[in-house]
Chains A and B, each alone.
Chain A
């Protein structure tokens, strides 16, 4: 074997692993990519630095640059000296109670806190499959709305608190969670109804869905405010928040129905036939065979419309309900805090993002779990 056959020494291959490798592979793989990367870094720098500066480094939290505690807008650094002041978060701290509870009486607010805590206990077993004693906790989840209702509104010895005093995050969560929770079964019934073989049922469901979907939520809210009372027997008045809830639930129900119908259509005919041939009834077939599969494949869309609804609840401020955004606007309307709208809107946006982003991450987790856990490749 001659020496010429020995391998020539080469430079090592370009790193493709580790941080450096990742940067090279993803950010600087070509000259065009490199220019884009640098451009984006420059833009981020231009945006992020001033924002961080405004929101954190130059911001007031509870005290201004003179060390005084901020009790109204005149104490804010940026009001006193716009040159040096950043965000004045004191408005959030001072008005925090309103943002979270609205005008709920302070001596009764423990009830809201209990509801918030119970909400976590009610939702957790729903979301986490391996929750210990899940079965029993799910019973609690079922009765939670009733407990929450009496705790929030009063009854059984608890003082009555009018929904006019509810506000802020409390109203947003009540509308969002109740709307989603009630719309889900409504959507299932409507979707099954629309696909029913009985023409009357199918027509009624289709008309309902198309009507509700064809109308903006805001119109439904006005409808609930103005027209719903006309349909009620005399002497019965509906609470403003309940009217909003009805509008929101119907709206979300119609959308949920279409999402679930999409899932139902994806289930092969053979599944229906197999279920019928072993003798399952219509409801057993849907409950045990068809819906579990249909809902599984529509989870991303279900979460998508739920996120949409959660954000749309802010529209209730137009019919006079003070949800999180409504409280924000009410706070800004006060003479003492005028002009701090950026702080308020950023805060409201962040609260919404926390909720919607969690929902979106959870749906991703679910999708991944269902895809890897069970291979649905039988058909």
Chain B
């Protein structure tokens, strides 16, 4: 592990039953780096990033996030989750709470922030994702794109150092994808460390510092986007790229 790494995965292995979902995964992410992870479905990309905030438990190897090693130690897990924000494919907003309450909940309960301050913070986050006017609506009243932006605001309200995105635009209608990606580009430009699992290759080209291609639980190729798209080394990567770029 190099000193500048904020996330470090070393020989991580994980099985679902007999299925070897992560095989000797090694990944170092530096502060303010933006990694885009792609690969066919079932390749373990979601599982890998879910291991980083311990929504999934790895069975072998070592994961260190911001100097904290993820073990069974609940205190460590809590501290890592405070550092790491996560955005899900299905948004997973809390449907019984208003947009504002969705965002203020964690600051109030986890960080013990006074309510007024948390609400101010929520409005600031909603400005960042460009939907302050929706603050008092309920998630069910918003479009998919708006819901996903609220989900991003909810994560940002905890002031994380790292943001994980698990296929954030896969459940969205095409015309809503851009509004979510725009927010993510802004975030990247603001210097956030990001790991994004996505098939939005346009986004990857503009934002990523490094592309990670996974297949069958392994990291097959890691390269800067320039090299990754124009001159990939592995045949598997070439095949994958030809499939998703030429249609």
The reply to whether B55 and A276 contact each other, CB–CB distance below 8 Å, is: yes
Q: Give B154's nearest chain A residue, CB to CB.
A: A278
The reply to whether B109 and A378 contact each other, CB–CB distance below 8 Å, is: no
Cβ of A376: which chain B residues have Cβ within 8 Å of it? 95-96, 140
By a beta-carbon cutoff of 8 Å, the part of chain B in contact with chain A is: 53, 55, 78, 81-82, 84-86, 88, 90-96, 105-106, 109-110, 138-141, 147, 151, 154-155, 158
Assess A378 versus B140: contact at CB under 8 Å? Given A277-B81, A279-B81, A293-B95.
yes
Q: At the interface with chain B, which of A56-64, A140-148, A163-171, A280-288? A: A280-288
Extra inter-chain contacts (13) besides given A293-B94, A374-B95, A379-B92, CB under 8 Å: A270-B92, A271-B94, A274-B151, A274-B154, A275-B94, A276-B81, A278-B155, A280-B109, A284-B109, A289-B94, A374-B140, A378-B140, A379-B95
The reply to whether A379 and B90 contact each other, CB–CB distance below 8 Å, is: yes
Cβ of B96: which chain A residues have Cβ within 8 Å of it? 292-293, 296, 374, 376
The majority secondary structure among interface residues of chain B is: mixed
The reply to whether A273 and B81 contact each other, CB–CB distance below 8 Å, is: no
Q: Give B164's nearest chain A residue, CB to CB.
A: A277
Q: Give A290's nearest chain B residue, CB to CB.
A: B94
Assess A378 versus B53: contact at CB under 8 Å? Given A270-B92, A278-B155.
no
Assess A377 versus B53: contact at CB under 8 Å? Given A278-B155, A279-B78.
no
When the two chains form the complex, which single residue of B81, B109, B138 contacts A375, counting CB atoms closer than 8 Å? Answer: B138
The reply to whether A375 and B141 contact each other, CB–CB distance below 8 Å, is: yes
List 17 contacting pairs A-B, 8 Å CB cutoff, sorted by A. Answer: A273-B55, A273-B88, A274-B93, A274-B94, A274-B151, A275-B94, A277-B84, A278-B106, A278-B155, A278-B158, A279-B81, A279-B158, A281-B110, A288-B105, A374-B96, A379-B90, A379-B93
The reply to whether A377 and B95 contact each other, CB–CB distance below 8 Å, is: yes
When the two chains form the complex, which single residue of A273, A281, A293 contacts B78, counting CB atoms closer than 8 Å? Answer: A281
Rounded to whole angstroms, the CA-CA distance of A281 and B111 in the bound complex is 12
Rounded to whole angstroms, the CA-CA distance of A235 and B55 in the bound complex is 53
Cβ of A292: which chain B residues have Cβ within 8 Å of it? 96
The reply to whether B155 and A277 contact each other, CB–CB distance below 8 Å, is: yes
With both chains docked as a complex, state the minimum distance between the C-beta of B211 and any C-beta of chain A, in angstroms: 25
Cβ of A270: which chain B residues have Cβ within 8 Å of it? 88, 90, 92
With both chains docked as a complex, state the minimum distance between the C-beta of A284 and any C-beta of chain B, in angstroms: 5
Q: Give B157's nearest chain A residue, CB to CB.
A: A278
Instruction: Identify which of A275, A276, A278, A377 gathers the most chain B CB atoms within 10 Å of its CB.
Output: A278
The reply to whether B140 and A278 contact each other, CB–CB distance below 8 Å, is: no
By a beta-carbon cutoff of 8 Å, the part of chain A in contact with chain B is: 268, 270-271, 273-281, 284, 288-289, 292-293, 296, 374-379
Cβ of A375: which chain B residues have Cβ within 8 Å of it? 95, 138, 140-141
Q: Give A270's nearest chain B residue, CB to CB.
A: B92
With both chains docked as a complex, state the minimum distance between the C-beta of B182 and any C-beta of chain A, in angstroms: 22
Q: Give A283's nearest chain B residue, CB to CB.
A: B109
Q: Give B93's nearest chain A residue, CB to CB.
A: A378
Cβ of B155: which chain A residues have Cβ within 8 Å of it? 277-278
Rounded to whole angstroms, the CA-CA distance of A379 and B102 in the bound complex is 15
The reply to whether B92 and A279 contact each other, CB–CB distance below 8 Å, is: no
Q: Give A277's nearest chain B residue, CB to CB.
A: B86
Q: Give A271's nearest chain B residue, CB to CB.
A: B92
Cβ of A277: which chain B residues have Cβ within 8 Å of it? 53, 55, 81, 84-86, 88, 155
Instruction: Identify which of B84, B94, B147, B158 gathers the most chain A CB atoms within 10 Å of its CB.
Output: B94
With both chains docked as a complex, state the minimum distance between the C-beta of A295 and any C-beta of chain B, in angstroms: 10
Rounded to whole angstroms, the CA-CA distance of A377 and B154 in the bound complex is 19
The reply to whether B82 and A279 contact each other, CB–CB distance below 8 Å, is: yes
The reply to whether A377 and B88 contact each other, CB–CB distance below 8 Å, is: no
With both chains docked as a complex, state the minimum distance between the C-beta of A374 and any C-beta of chain B, in angstroms: 5
Q: Give A379's nearest chain B residue, CB to CB.
A: B90
Cβ of A379: which chain B residues have Cβ within 8 Å of it? 90-93, 95
Rounded to whole angstroms, the CA-CA distance of A376 and B84 in the bound complex is 27
The reply to whether A377 and B140 contact each other, CB–CB distance below 8 Å, is: yes
Cβ of A289: which chain B residues have Cβ within 8 Å of it? 94, 105
With both chains docked as a complex, state the minimum distance between the C-beta of A6 and any C-beta of chain B, in angstroms: 51
With both chains docked as a complex, state the minimum distance between the C-beta of B132 and any C-beta of chain A, in angstroms: 20
With both chains docked as a complex, state the minimum distance between the C-beta of A58 and any C-beta of chain B, in angstroms: 55
Rounded to whole angstroms, the CA-CA distance of A271 and B158 in the bound complex is 17
Rounded to whole angstroms, the CA-CA distance of A273 and B138 in the bound complex is 20
Cβ of B95: which chain A residues have Cβ within 8 Å of it? 293, 374-379
Cβ of A276: which chain B residues have Cβ within 8 Å of it? 53, 55, 81
When the two chains form the complex, which single residue of B78, B88, B141, B158 contacts A274, counting CB atoms closer than 8 Å? Answer: B88
